[in-house]
Structure 1
Amino acid sequence: MSTETTFLESLSELDVEVTRTTPESCADAIDDATVGEAIGVPLPDGLALPPAVTDRPTNGDLETADTGVTPAVLGIAETGSVHLESDRAGTELVSLYPRRHVAVLRVADLVPDVATAIDRLGPDLRAGGSGVIATGPSATADMGSLVVGAHGPSEVHVVLVEAGQ
């Protein structure tokens, strides 16, 4: 089974929605995946946010936004996880505050397992970088029954960008 197929199956098990798209259609795919007021951070490598997404959110925007759109540095196929950088653009915050998180990830940035992810992320982390590995919607059962969205988004959508033309 391919890394991409494993990633898609893992996301399905986590009830994470996926949209597959090309770089040219990425903004439209993001627009379709957002709900309500949307904030985001700039995307890398020529990928564009749709005009309706505020790309320099304020603290007030973080509190009121329904959707946060961020790039993901890599995806881990075996767990359906995405790695989000802690950076000055606010990637981590934009992924955590709104109730819906849309993670934008290139197929080329998928790795098969956690060990490979650590190998790839290691040099940046040892140099002082940081981030979070997020797996599906936020959930906790600390107080008894399962609560979704207690410490982060209650909905996650991955926009998976295939190689361009």
Structure 2
Amino acid sequence: MSTVAEFQQSLSRSDTESTVTTPETFASTLTDVVDRPAVGAALPFDSVDLEDAPVTLNPTPAQLHEAKTGVTAARLGVASLGTVAIQSRAAGDELVSLHPKTHVVVVRECDLRPDLEAAFDWLNDRFDDGERSFILATGASATGDMGALVEGVHGPENVHVLVLADDE
């Protein structure tokens, strides 16, 4: 099974939708999954951006509060778990990923790792480079510490991952 297929299978186990897209189809795919109003953090990728997307970059607190969807990049995906790593950057990734009801995550195929061991190796390299703040997220926010499982308490109720396919 390919890394992308395993990642998508793991995402589906946590009720997380996913779509594989290309740089050429990214804009239309993103538009299809975003519920407006939407906010976003600039994507750190060369092949795609949010400049022409139906997404407000650098949102004000009011725009963040009103947003139904937040769009951010993931710097890493763990195929065996369906986990993504969101870097806390000045672009606002952390707030944009946690506040709106729906979080759309963009991760490049080349940033997928097969398992947690490979992910920890990647994180160790980032830590050695001075990068220190990442949120590891698997599916929608959920808590069961007060009884029945409740989703969306500490973050998004829904997550949709867009896997940006590598150029062949």
Shorter chain as denominator, the TM-score bin is over 0.9
Task: Find the counterpart in structure 1 of residue 15 from structure 2.
Answer: 15
Partner SS for 1:7: helix
TM-score (norm 2): 0.93
Identity across matched positions, percent: 46
- Counting only pairs closer than 5 Å after superposition, residues 54-93 of structure 1 correspond to structure 2 as 54-93=56-95
Q: Unpaired segments of 5 or more residues in structure 2?
A: none
Name the amino acid aligned to 1:45. D
Partner SS for 1:68: strand
* Contact 2:36–2:54, Cα closer than 8 Å, also in 1: no
Change in Cα spacing, 1:58 to 1:107, as seen in structure 2 (3 Å) is: same
RMSD (Å), alpha carbons: 1.3
Q: Unpaired segments of 5 or more residues in structure 1?
A: none
- Counting only pairs closer than 5 Å after superposition, residues 1-165 of structure 1 correspond to structure 2 as 1-43=1-43, 44-49=45-50, 50-126=52-128, 127-164=130-167
Name the amino acid aligned to 1:74. L
User: How far is the alpha carbon of 1:48 from its aligned partner?
Assistant: 2.1
Name the amino acid aligned to 1:28. S
Name segments (4+ residues, structure 1) moved above 3 Å: none
TM-score (norm 1): 0.95
- Count of residues in Structure 1 that have an aligned counterpart in Structure 2: 165
Partner SS for 1:79: coil
Name the amino acid aligned to 2:127. L
- State which drifts further: 45-54 or 105-114: 45-54
Aligned counterparts of 1:145 and 1:28: Cα–Cα separation in 2: 38
Name the amino acid aligned to 2:167. G
Aligned counterparts of 1:121 and 1:18: Cα–Cα separation in 2: 23
User: How far is the alpha carbon of 1:84 from its aligned partner?
Assistant: 0.3
Change in Cα spacing, 1:91 to 1:145, as seen in structure 2 (3 Å) is: same
Name the amino acid aligned to 1:141. G
Aligned counterparts of 1:128 and 1:29: Cα–Cα separation in 2: 30
